[in-house]
């Protein structure tokens, strides 16, 4: 099978957005690229995040997803050369694993002649990832509200009503999602559950309408952040600093340890305040990123054949 080389570009994501635990996710303008070239034998290389630490053999998530997509489509993949250019920090609550899975599933589908629908790709990746809050915005772009109809994922994309800057404080240490889930309780008071339902609806409305003043209260969470914040030194100080510097609000990004804040016109001041607070109250070094909302999701681009 011959084909022209191509690239799949997939955005980072920030999930939960405070109260929207496992159901809200937002695509960001930071990207992983997965390049696919014809080759006499299948091989994989990694540049950037994870280079030298992630496996490049058949245990790599990319090659495993290629195989599962191939099985789902009932077709064999040709030998290929894959290059992963990773820019999304690993195990920081920015959707790195979702980006890898989405890029691999889309690349495999293209190689096979695109027998799978976008919904089938979503289902395949959600089955591997375990939940759709990062997967859906990585695939679709914008803010995505996710749920389940039985075992089938249901999603709705919202393109933000106004431009908004996303400020992220990224600590140097890793935090695996499995560890972050272990500190959560198995049940919560009814009042906390109700408060989260209300705030999740208001957060989705804030993005749909562009009334970001709603975020000042709607980012408040009672299901996971009160328990997970012990894993992120300086959590309270950084969130308070972001709000004092002019952010509408701030929250844990995904399972953490990254912290995310939202600002219309003062993102640099917010980033500076968050970094200063973490430097004083946190543990180790950090970096800040100021990003926009990605509105396209995963995109396939042709490459020069040379």
SS (H, E, C) the chain: CCCCCEEEEEEEEEECCCCCCCCEEEEEEEEEEEEEEECCCCEEEEEECCCCCCCCCCCCHHHHHHHHHHHHHCCCCCCEEEEEEECCCCCCCCCHHHHHHHHHHHHHHHHCCCCCCHHHHHHHHHHHHCCCCCHHHHHHCCEEEEEEECCEEEEEEECCCCCCEEEEEEECCCCCHHHHHHCCCCCCCHHHHHHHHHHHHHHHHHHHHCCHHHHHHHCCCCCCHHHHHHHCCCHHHHHHHHHHCCCCEEEECCCCCCEEEEECCCHHHHHHHHHHHHHHHCCCCEEEEEECECCCCCEEEECCCC
Fold of 165-291: Alpha-Beta Plaits (3.30.70)
Per-residue pLDDT for the chain (306 aa), expressed as one digit of tens each? Answer: 678 899 999 999 999 999 999 999 999 999 999 999 988 889 999 999 999 899 998 889 999 999 999 888 888 888 899 999 999 999 999 999 999 999 999 999 999 999 999 999 999 999 888 888 999 999 999 999 999 998 889 999 999 988 999 999 999 999 888 888 999 999 999 999 999 999 999 999 999 999 999 999 999 999 999 999 999 999 999 999 999 999 999 999 999 999 999 999 999 999 999 999 999 998 889 999 999 999 999 999 998 765
pLDDT for 246 equals 96
Q: What angle do CA 18, 23, 27 make, to 5 degrees?
A: 80
pLDDT for 305 equals 60
Q: In which residue are the tokens 């042709």 written?
A: 302
pLDDT for 34 equals 97
pLDDT for 123 equals 93
Q: Write out the residue limits of the CATH 3.30.70.890 domain(s) in the chain.
A: 165-291
CATH of domain 6-159+293-302: 3.30.230.10
Q: Write out the residue limits of the CATH 3.30.230.10 domain(s) in the chain.
A: 6-159+293-302
Residue 263, classified by CB atoms within 10 Å of its CB into exposed (0-12), middle (13-18) or buried (19+), is: buried
Distance CA 193, CA 279 (A): 33
pLDDT for 75 equals 85
pLDDT for 262 equals 98
pLDDT for 47 equals 96
């Amino acid at each position: 099978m011959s084909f022209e080389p191509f690239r799949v570009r997939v955005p980072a994501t920030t999930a939960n957005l405070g109260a929207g635990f496992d159901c809200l996710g937002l695509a960001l303008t930071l990207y992983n690229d997965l390049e696919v070239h014809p080759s006499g034998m299948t091989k994989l290389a990694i540049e950037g995040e994870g280079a030298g630490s992630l496996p490049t053999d058949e245990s790599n998530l990319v090659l495993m997803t290629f195989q599962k997509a191939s099985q789902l489509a009932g077709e064999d993949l040709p030998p290929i050369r894959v290059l992963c250019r990773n820019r999304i920090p690993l195990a920081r609550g920015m959707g790195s694993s979702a980006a890898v899975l989405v890029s691999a599933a889309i690349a495999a589908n293209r190689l096979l002649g695109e027998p799978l629908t976008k919904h089938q790709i979503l289902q395949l990746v959600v089955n591997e990832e375990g939940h759709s809050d990062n997967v859906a915005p990585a695939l679709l772009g914008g803010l995505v509200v996710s749920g389940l109809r039985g075992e089938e994922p249901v999603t709705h994309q919202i393109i933000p009503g106004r431009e908004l800057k996303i400020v992220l404080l990224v600590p140097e240490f890793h935090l695996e999602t499995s560890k972050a889930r272990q500190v959560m309780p198995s049940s919560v008071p009814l009042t906390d559950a109700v408060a989260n339902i209300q705030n999740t609806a208001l957060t989705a409305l804030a993005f749909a309408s562009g009334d970001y003043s709603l975020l000042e209260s709607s980012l408040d969470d009672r299901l996971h952040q009160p328990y997970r914040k012990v894993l992120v030194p300086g959590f309270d100080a950084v969130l308070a600093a972001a709000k004092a510097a002019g952010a509408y609000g701030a929250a844990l990004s995904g399972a953490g340890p990254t912290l995310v804040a939202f600002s219309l016109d003062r993102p640099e001041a917010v980033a500076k305040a968050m970094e200063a607070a973490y430097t004083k109250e946190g543990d180790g070094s950090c970096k800040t990123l100021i990003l926009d909302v990605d509105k396209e999701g995963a995109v396939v681009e042709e490459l020069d054949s040379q």
